Structure 1
Amino acid sequence: MTTEAILSKLVSFPVLGGESNLSIIHWIKTYIESFDIACTLVPNKEGDKASLHCRIGPSASGGIILSGHTDVVPVKGQDWETNPFILTDKNDGKLYGRGSCDMKGFVACCLSVLPRLVKADLKKPIYFAFSYDEEIGCLAAPELIAHLLNHYPETPKYAIIGEPTLLQPIIGHKGICLYTTKVNGSAGHSSGIRKEVSAIHEAARLILWLENKMNVLVDSGNIDNRFTPPHSSLHTGIIHGGIAPNVIADKAYFSWDARVIPNDNLAEIINEFTTHCNKRIEELKPIFPDFKIETEEIHPPVSSFLTNEDADIVKLMGKINSNTNIETVAYASEAGQFNEAGLQSIVCGPGSIDQAHRANEFINNDQLTNYNEILNNLISLFSTEKIISDF
């Protein structure tokens, strides 16, 4: 099958983050196994989702993982000109469809080079690793990575995560975690504000604490100019509370995110926030004994990611990709999770992140063609004993 034909099939599976991905993962498994390659599924506890991994080539150390996710973001409320789950060629050099860019284009490229891959005399193995629920917090990757590393007798050394980067090698991104903080105060007439504990007022103070903490980090010199903005950010995007202007609010909550540069410690920031919240609870309990502040993770933290510019994976990428201008990005990916597992990682894939998550998402045909060339160069590199020995 051509890359476009495979991509068309992948786009036809409307698998959103959080939903069962068994339809698309079983299609991918069947396709790979048609080349006599054994695939392993890593299901979730409920059995309605699964990641997949496989190895092509010898059982040898120093292999490389090509990793992508199978889920996409919703299309509801977006103004699509075509059916988002039918890959559409408008004869303008672009292929339109949800996931065409993020990141089924990458998966299609991996699958389309299989005929050459299975015939190659590989000296080092190439692995595929495809996950689910990336779009709602990179939830499946840790289990997939652990399973892959425990499954094969030899340990891979590298990982390429194929998020859309216009083929540019990305060596770093910020970590992210989302939280909801709930405040339980006391209701009453607004004229008695000094006698009660307003949940809204306390929520506002906590939001300002977060903003001040961000400013303290910046003022303390916690800067990394490889990122835009070059510092960790703490941002509140949702706040709700109260029933009327003249009623002291007994309930309020706000949802916020923390995006941290690699050198900042997310756990330390959260611990400081928790300590501050506990202090406020002790201060206000004499006024209202049932005063509470509770913070919950919306999903587990996604690790920040940074690979050294002189790492072997960067040198390897330079051998197979003519685009050697390394950069960092603001969005998160599964790369940090691969990196934490001891795999030298890099993000590089076809398509532009500017097209991701929006209506009329597309990928340029030449991006697919050029990424297939990168993968073919990888196959050639891993088939050459003299060159691969350098890595």
Structure 2
Amino acid sequence: MTVQDILAKLVSFPVFGGENNLNIINWINDYIENFGVETSLVYNETKTKASLHCRIGPSVDGGVILSGHTDVVPVKEQPWDTNPFELVEKPDDNLYARGSCDMKGFLACCLSVLPIMVKAKLKKPIYFAFTYDEEVGCLAAPSLIDHIKKTYSEKPRYAIIGEASMLQPIIAQKSIHIIDITVNGSQGHSSRIKQEVSAIHEAARLVLWAEEKMNALINSGSIDPRFNPPHSSLHTGIINGGIAPNIIANKAFLSLDIRCLPQDDASQMYQDLKDYCKSREETLKSIFEGFRIDVAENHPIVPSLNTSENSDVIDLIGNITGNYEWSTVSYASEAGHYSNAGFESIICGPGSIAQAHRANEYISKDQLIKGLEMIENLVKHLEISI
């Protein structure tokens, strides 16, 4: 199968974040095992989802993990011109489908080069590490990484996370933490606004708290010019509540997106939010005893990435892509999990992140071929690496 054939097969599986992914992971598993490579599946508790890992090459320290995810974001209400789950090649030399860029293009490159890998005389091993539920919080990465560390007696050195970067090495990313907040106030006539506790008004205070927190971090000098924006960000993306303009709302909901610089403590920020909510509860219980603010994680913190500018993994990427000029991103990926587990980690993959998560997502044929060449060059590098 060509890399384009493999990509066409991968995008035909409409596996969204949070959903059963066994159809695509079993297809990948069968494909890999056909080349005589032993695989391991790491299931969730209900065995409705699985991650996959395998090793190609010798059982020695210093290998390279190629990391990707099998899930994609939804297509509902997006104005697609073609079937999102059928790879369509257009005269502009782009390949259109959901996941073509984010990030099944990278998976296709890895799988396409597998026949070369198994025949190569690798001096260091290559590992595939493919997860589920990346798009809803990188939920499967910790268990997969833990299973990799327990399965192999040797220790991989590098992790390449193949998110779309136009094959530019990305050495740092912000963390992300999404928090759902439900405000429980008291219902009443709008004329009694001072005698009741409006959930909407308290939700508005939380929005302002988040903005003031962000501004305070900026004013304190917590800046990293490598990022855009160069500071941690707090953003309210969802807010709703109330049933009529003349009824004090007894319930409101908001969702807060926090993206922290590597130097800022995401866990402390979450604690600061909970402390503020607690203080508001204590202040307003004298007006309404049942006032409560429920704070819950939409998903755990996805850790930041902050690979050293002097890390050898940058040279590795330069050797296999010709691109030594690194950058940073404000989106989150599984790279932070790999870095925290002790692997020199970097983001580098084919396609542009500007095409991800939108209607008519595509990867150019040129980028797909360059991604293929990157993996082929990795094989050549590891054949002579000692």
| TM-score, scaled relative to structure 1 | 0.97
Deviations 1:144-183 (A, max 9, x none): 1110111011111110000011111101111111111111
Between the aligned partners of 2:381 and 2:202, the Cα distance in structure 1 is: 59
Name the SS for the 1:159 alignment partner. Answer: strand
Post-superposition offset of 1:366: 1.2
Residue identity opposite 1:178 in structure 2: I
Between the aligned partners of 2:185 and 2:112, the Cα distance in structure 1 is: 58
Post-superposition offset of 1:279: 1.4
* 1:255 counterpart residue number: 255
Between the aligned partners of 2:46 and 2:358, the Cα distance in structure 1 is: 30
Name the SS for the 2:301 alignment partner. Answer: strand
Deviations 1:186-239 (A, max 9, x none): 122222221211111111112111111110000000000000000001111111
Post-superposition offset of 1:91: 3.2
Residue identity opposite 1:146 in structure 2: D
Q: Indicate whether 1:286 and 2:286 are aligned.
A: yes
Q: Deviation above 4 Å: which 4+ runs of structure 1?
A: none
Between the aligned partners of 1:27 and 1:253, the Cα distance in structure 2 is: 40
Q: Indicate whether 1:198 and 2:237 are aligned.
A: no
Between the aligned partners of 2:15 and 2:253, the Cα distance in structure 1 is: 31
Residue identity opposite 2:83 in structure 1: N
Residue identity opposite 1:116 in structure 2: I
* 1:339 counterpart residue number: 339
Superposed counterparts of 1:369-384, under 5 Å: 369-384=369-384
Residue identity opposite 1:80 in structure 2: W
Superposed counterparts of 1:243-322, under 5 Å: 243-322=243-322
Q: Indicate whether 1:353 and 2:350 are aligned.
A: no
* 1:365 counterpart residue number: 365
- Work out the percentage of aligned pairs sharing the same amino acid: 60
**Which segment is superposed worse, 178-187 or 210-219?**
178-187
Superposed counterparts of 1:142-161, under 5 Å: 142-161=142-161
Superposed counterparts of 1:38-117, under 5 Å: 38-117=38-117
* 2:21 counterpart residue number: 21
Between the aligned partners of 2:188 and 2:278, the Cα distance in structure 1 is: 24
Residue identity opposite 1:244 in structure 2: A
Between the aligned partners of 1:259 and 1:281, the Cα distance in structure 2 is: 26
Between the aligned partners of 1:122 and 1:325, the Cα distance in structure 2 is: 27
* 1:215 counterpart residue number: 215
Between the aligned partners of 1:26 and 1:312, the Cα distance in structure 2 is: 34
Root mean square deviation of aligned Cα: 1.0
Residue identity opposite 1:79 in structure 2: P
Between the aligned partners of 2:139 and 2:50, the Cα distance in structure 1 is: 12
Between the aligned partners of 1:76 and 1:283, the Cα distance in structure 2 is: 42
Between the aligned partners of 1:334 and 1:103, the Cα distance in structure 2 is: 12
* 1:185 counterpart residue number: 185
Deviations 1:253-312 (A, max 9, x none): 211110111000011111112112111111111111111111111111111111011101
Between the aligned partners of 1:83 and 1:193, the Cα distance in structure 2 is: 51
Between the aligned partners of 2:354 and 2:229, the Cα distance in structure 1 is: 17
**Which segment is superposed worse, 90-99 or 173-182?**
90-99
* 1:10 counterpart residue number: 10
Post-superposition offset of 1:119: 0.9
What are structure 2's unaligned runs of at least 5 residues? none
* 2:323 counterpart residue number: 323
Between the aligned partners of 1:135 and 1:270, the Cα distance in structure 2 is: 21
CA contact (8 A) 2:232 2:259 kept: yes
Residue identity opposite 1:185 in structure 2: G
Between the aligned partners of 2:335 and 2:124, the Cα distance in structure 1 is: 21
* 2:163 counterpart residue number: 163
Between the aligned partners of 1:206 and 1:84, the Cα distance in structure 2 is: 38
**Count of residue correspondences:** 386
* 2:176 counterpart residue number: 176
CA contact (8 A) 2:315 2:324 kept: no
CA contact (8 A) 2:184 2:199 kept: yes
| TM-score, scaled relative to structure 2 | 0.98
Between the aligned partners of 1:240 and 1:331, the Cα distance in structure 2 is: 25
